[in-house]
Structure 1
């Protein structure tokens, strides 16, 4: 099937083979199409340490994956996604997403996609399947000067220096960009749904459709971020998923809606009442119990903590509520059959695989333990005395490393690799100027 895709697209001359590292960066190779069959049949190789690079693309100094182990190779095999076009490039090019295994076929525990697969195995063992829908916020930014600003609209030739929540006019100013973006999503089979303008200058949100394959939902979010950033550069500006590019405007989040269906396709969060089922409450409790310790996943970078400020549209209190957007966990209203949980903590700068693994893993912890949450909040969480997530990067790293909740979700090797990666980044970011931090985060995350 993968070989047939290339034969149906004879204009494609080169392919990119790539996997997501712990920071969600695409790491891989450029391969001529005449050698594509070899990659499909046998995979390719690169060092396991490549899945564990810092945000600058450098080795982790004290990682056992480098010199201690001889910097051995992993085997990269195509995911079930197969080939897809890369519409943001000028030359016809195809992308083949990969994930990493050991030589003997075992999944490599340091691969974030494998970490999500491991969580989904827990659901499958119980005859359950999560349904996931990510929501991605991002900014369009003119970064040609030293000061970031909203780009000139291709339609009006003006800079609209105002926030316009749910403005049709703001969407119309970028009509051709969004038309090309939706066309590209169609080509890549990314289920992009509604687009809205958000509260920041040049800030937008696009929702992806609910998907009962959580691996595919994470793939979609990873590929979507790559697409938006690449397409924006073709237009002469940047698209950034930084958590907080502007000091005076809202940060960008990646909210995730999820429910769980059983083998009969029934939503186990729905019991026919407005309150939702015991399973839903168990999942809420699990998410709350692991929330502080998983903050490193939700806020993985130095800039992430500029967004995590109470009263600034980024939930920092560990709480839940019905139809309450100040709560970290919101239960949306609507048809009971669509009963779901919206996890609202993460910034747009996250690795989608780790984010969805952390959310679903924590929910499963709660389901397995029959955990019960506290009472849902009413009113603004910012005005109540509630437990808080860590408010510094260093505290989040320490909490993640030592957490029994995290140890049930992620393999030991991934925990170690992520902690050493973030401690190295913390050290060097502390030596970097705000301008240097902005330059590295703007395009990468």
Structure 2
């Protein structure tokens, strides 16, 4: 509550939790009643974290009529208050997460699911260190056709991709200046920004963090900020996996290493190849890829990104310093030895994505799994096992994968499957234009 005392200009707050699709669900509360959220929490139905991409109830879910649509208890996370710089009126956001009324974590809450995976690491004396890389497009969606917005500086539109172009960054300098200022206010550790291969496409990397739960918070809040701030500048920003047919899509890569109790990186054995623990973690991630593809590609549009020769992996393999592989071991000093997981699209729920990646790595460590030999050359040109190529196949593979059952609680698996099966049913009724309009702002 000290934050609100230091910001008397804030008259309203938003309390919000992430649903299964990563959409913020919550309430608006007058600031003078904010203390009640800390002492008593707030309530909304368990089913609210299990809505489909349209925000509709899941028709077959027992959380709705079968249980009387009963409430869960939502309490503030460790994050506390932060500003919402994309709104005109001074407003604070208070992230919350869901519990049962008796205080037990709710297994259908994505943030609780990641916390559960991290508790397993803690029990083994291990700490993941993670960093996300988030790609997004700035888009003028005011007409029938999506296109890059005109530069606020020149008024001109950039029609092609300009990888690592300072000119492309400078064209939207006022937006990025505000974005970095807002990240500082919200304690989001945004680091390097670059222009990417698509028109109006950019990537911002987060600093590595030994608090994976905060790293997921940062990614979730960053997506909210990027989209909200863009609208206040007169255009859209989207993490949609593939808004343009002819250009590469948006990814959300994650780099991770694991520290032992003494703070040593267990992937480092002093060699360029890394330790046995690194290979065990790689093997776990590879083994879980077919089943967890639905986490990394959660929407129909996600699979437009996962095609050969489009800078997104399609085969299940790993390699040293090779961006065509699903898992890349970047060149680094031994102490910074890490794995880059390159499958997830920008449209993912960051909590579920990190739970899937870190959970799979933990399974590999626990079972001392051994991967195939690292590949060399172009992974697209090699005969590798393939990721599920369609949304429907990804759903069914998720449903039957034994490693998914080891990573995620039963309630989460059941809820997620019901959600995706409902979405795939109703998505068939939409045109391509209607799908784009839906995904552009929601994911």
CA distance in 1, matches of 2:317, 2:309: 15
Cα deviation for residue 162 of structure 1 reads 1.3
Within the candidate set 43, 53, 61, 1:55 is matched to: 53
Residue matched to 2:75: 77
Q: How many residues align?
A: 443
TM superposition score normalised by structure 2 = 1.00
Cα deviation for residue 401 of structure 1 reads 1.0
For structure 2, which runs of at least 5 residues remain unmatched after alignment? none
Residue matched to 2:177: 179
TM superposition score normalised by structure 1 = 0.99
Within the candidate set 86, 101, 116, 2:114 is matched to: 116
Cα deviation for residue 381 of structure 1 reads 0.3
Cα deviation for residue 388 of structure 1 reads 0.4
Residue matched to 1:426: 424
Within the candidate set 194, 202, 216, 1:204 is matched to: 202
Instruction: Show the 5 A alignment for 1:122-201.
Output: 122-201=120-199
Cα deviation for residue 263 of structure 1 reads 1.2
Within the candidate set 268, 271, 274, 2:272 is matched to: 274
Secondary structure of residue in 2 paired with 1:155: coil
Residue matched to 1:337: 335
Within the candidate set 329, 344, 347, 2:345 is matched to: 347
Within the candidate set 74, 88, 99, 1:101 is matched to: 99
CA distance in 2, matches of 1:37, 1:297: 36
Residue matched to 1:233: 231
Residue 219 in structure 1 maps to residue 217 in structure 2: yes
CA distance in 1, matches of 2:261, 2:234: 48
CA distance in 2, matches of 1:309, 1:434: 18
Instruction: Show the 5 A alignment for 1:349-368.
Output: 349-368=347-366
Cα deviation for residue 40 of structure 1 reads 1.3
Cα deviation for residue 42 of structure 1 reads 1.2
Deviation sequence 1:114-134 (CA, Å, 0-9, x none): 000010011001000000100
Cα deviation for residue 149 of structure 1 reads 0.3
Secondary structure of residue in 1 paired with 2:291: coil
Residue matched to 2:323: 325
Cα deviation for residue 334 of structure 1 reads 1.5
Secondary structure of residue in 2 paired with 1:350: coil
Runs of 4+ in 1 over 4 A off after TM superposition: none
For structure 1, which runs of at least 5 residues remain unmatched after alignment? none
CA distance in 2, matches of 1:398, 1:27: 27
Deviation sequence 1:379-421 (CA, Å, 0-9, x none): 0000000000000000000011111000000000000000000
CA distance in 2, matches of 1:8, 1:229: 27
Cα deviation for residue 311 of structure 1 reads 1.1
